[in-house]
């Protein structure tokens, strides 16, 4: 058993690479060779992870992925437990359908990050594309950069924490502005455990709590960091 399994993107490729098998829990009892043999898909063509990634380490639920991953999609999709760290940008559907564990992206992601997540923590140090946290059932998405269009659509109990700006959909309503204790705890944990840089202002900041989504009105929430508690932001004017 290794402390980590590390996947380093080796090959350059044309097109879009889908790697929905890259989820920390699936590496728990697999050898290096078995991990390299996990399926991948380049466009319509079936391939193996090992065709694109160098695999180091085995039988661990702590996974690191590095390389130019912006065209690599589905990282962490369906992950049930463990820890997946993506050292750079990632493609679409990061953490889609995840049911547990933690995924930290030290870059930006494409569309549909954390879509349909049932449980777990997803953190993106950069920006996320459109449709983030779509149909989220529970769990938390923390976005340190800018959150793309239409976040949290059809979310029922999921939580989006936005630190770098978000256009809150009209189907979410402002409940209050407050200091959520769990956000502070989460951010401090991310700093201590993953070395994520956290600005003191967001740690001790006030957040606007929006509740939605109106399409399925339950307990979905967006917590938007309010840097100066300005009362004339676009979101406040609309409500």
Q: Is 193 in the site for other proteins (CB under 8 A)?
A: yes
Q: Closest CB to other proteins among 181 and 230?
A: 181
Query: CA 178, CA 118: separation in Å to the nearest integer?
Result: 26
Among 1, 11, 149, 185, binds other proteins (CB under 8 A): 185
Shortest distance, position 126 Cβ to other proteins, whole Å: 21
Footprint of other proteins on 46-65 (CB under 8 A): none
Q: 189: which residues sit within 8 A by CB, 6+ positions away? A: none
User: Which strand ranges, in their side-by-side order, compose the sheet holding 53-56?
Assistant: 53-56, 5-9, 62-66, 83-87, 102-105, 121-124, 140-143, 159-162, 220-225, 207-212, 173-178
Q: Closest CB to other proteins among 147 and 159?
A: 159
Q: Is 16 in the site for other proteins (CB under 8 A)?
A: no
Q: Is 203 in the site for other proteins (CB under 8 A)?
A: yes
Footprint of other proteins on 118-177 (CB under 8 A): 119-121, 140, 157, 159, 176
Q: Is 201 in the site for other proteins (CB under 8 A)?
A: no
Query: CA 176, CA 209: separation in Å to the nearest integer?
Result: 5
Q: Is 13 in the site for other proteins (CB under 8 A)?
A: no
Q: Closest CB to other proteins among 56 and 118?
A: 118
- Per-position x/- string for 88-117, each x denoting binding to other proteins as judged by CB under 8 A, each - no binding: ------------x-x---------------
What does DSSP say about strands 45-48 and 102-105: parallel, antiparallel, or unpaired?
unpaired
Contact 5, 56 (CB under 8 A): yes
Query: CA 151, CA 133: separation in Å to the nearest integer?
Result: 6
Tokens matching residue 231: 């009362």
Shortest distance, position 178 Cβ to other proteins, whole Å: 4
Q: 88: which residues sit within 8 A by CB, 6+ positions away? A: 66, 67, 68, 69, 106, 107
Q: Closest CB to other proteins among 219 and 239?
A: 219
Query: CA 198, CA 191: separation in Å to the nearest integer?
Result: 6
Residues found near other proteins in the complex (CB under 8 A): 100, 102, 119-121, 140, 157, 159, 176, 178-182, 184-186, 188-189, 193, 203, 219
């Amino acid at each position: 058993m290794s402390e980590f399994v590390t996947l380093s993107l080796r090959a350059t490729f044309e097109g879009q690479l889908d790697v929905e098998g890259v989820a920390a829990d699936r590496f728990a009892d697999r050898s290096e060779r078995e991990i390299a043999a996990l399926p991948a898909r380049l466009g319509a063509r079936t391939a193996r992870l090992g065709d694109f990634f160098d695999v180091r380490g085995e039988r661990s639920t702590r996974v690191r992925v590095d390389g130019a991953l912006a065209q690599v999609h589905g990282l962490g999709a369906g992950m049930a437990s463990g820890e997946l760290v993506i050292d750079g940008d990632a493609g679409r559907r990061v953490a889609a359908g995840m049911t547990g564990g933690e995924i930290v992206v030290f870059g930006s992601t494409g569309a549909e990050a954390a879509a349909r997540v049932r449980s777990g923590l997803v953190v993106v140090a950069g920006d996320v594309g459109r449709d983030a946290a779509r149909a989220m059932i529970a769990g938390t998405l923390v976005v340190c950069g800018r959150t793309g269009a239409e976040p949290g659509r059809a979310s029922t109990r999921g939580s989006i924490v936005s630190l770098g700006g978000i256009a809150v959909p009209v189907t979410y309503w402002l409940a209050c502005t407050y200091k959520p204790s769990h956000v502070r705890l989460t951010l401090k944990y991310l700093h201590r455990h993953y070395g994520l840089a956290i600005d003191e202002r967001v740690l001790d900041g006030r957040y606007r709590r929006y509740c939605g989504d109106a399409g399925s009105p339950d307990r979905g929430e967006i917590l938007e960091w309010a840097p100066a508690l300005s009362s004339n932001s676009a979101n406040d004017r609309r409500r």
